[in-house]
Amino acid sequence: MGLRPGDHVCWTFVDAADFRAAVLPFLDEGRRLGEHLLLVGASRPELLRALAPLPGRDEMLASGQLEVRSTAEVYASGEQLSPAEQVAAYRSLVDAALARGRTGLRVAADVTPLVRGGDDGRTRLHVYEQLADALMGSVAMTALCLYEASLGAEVLGPVTLLHPDQHCGEEEPLAHLSGRGRALSLHGEVDVTQADGLVRALVDVARGTPGEVVLDLSDLRFLDVAGARALARAAQVLRAADVQLRLVRAPRTAVRCLGLFGLDGGETVPA
């Protein structure tokens, strides 16, 4: 897979075979790198069966290098998830792994249950994924966040955008929303297929920061009218929550679309 500490991947799966096809090479790579391995899912017995072909499975379970835990053990339900506390818990797990002589922490987690906590639960999940993405850049941790493909575009769209690395079936990865607090960045390409997910993700991660939030567009390769409309809609929703969204460093190719909705892209950068 070629993943290393700092990588944060969103991966959708269709069935148990699809789940195994993603998890086994991910964990085996971590085994070869000397990382502490953690697999999280709905049922521990099912997870252990999925791991049967993993080289050294039994030895790693016995030594503690490999842990298998249920989603309920690792995460609270969607409505009770505390994004900051969950990220702090993972930071502690990284520290513990390093203290045991491992090179880092590698986590494969089926977090599908967290999207079933209602609208508020989804908001907490989006905030958590954003904070987790920031965490990956500061600690020796690699994460594979697994979601059932049957959740559909409305649910998966915002979640996918909050991961820099994405594998969603045959769909080509396009956009990524990164950053935290008052400084966010939008990367890649935003078209009509990304628009609704962008509104939800951007509003959810920025709404908790009253005042001004700056969105850097310098790494945006493409923006169509639907994408610009989505940014205008997000700005409108955020204003109602006392958050002012300021766009900066928009590529020249995006400025015209932004202008259609009265948005200023700030000092422009070359396309």
Q: Are residues 150 and 251 in the same domain?
A: no
The pLDDT score that the predictor gives to residue 266 is 75
Cα gap 50→68, rounded to integer Å:
11
Q: Is residue 268 part of a domain?
A: no
Is the predicted pLDDT of residue 267 greater than 90, yes or no? Answer: no
pTM of this prediction exceeds 0.75: yes
Q: pLDDT tens digits, residue range 65-96?
A: 999 999 889 986 555 889 999 999 999 999 99
Which one, of 159, 155, 158, 160, lies nearest residue 173 by Cα?
160
CATH number of domain containing 223: 3.30.750.24
Q: Is residue 2 part of a domain?
A: no
- Based on the structure, what is the number of domains in the chain? 2
Domain holding 199, by residue range, is 175-259
Q: pLDDT tens digits, residue range 174-233?
A: 999 999 889 999 999 999 999 999 999 999 999 988 999 999 999 999 999 999 999 999
Q: Are residues 150 and 199 in the same domain?
A: no
Tokens of 166: 């994405």
Cα gap 208→151, rounded to integer Å:
26
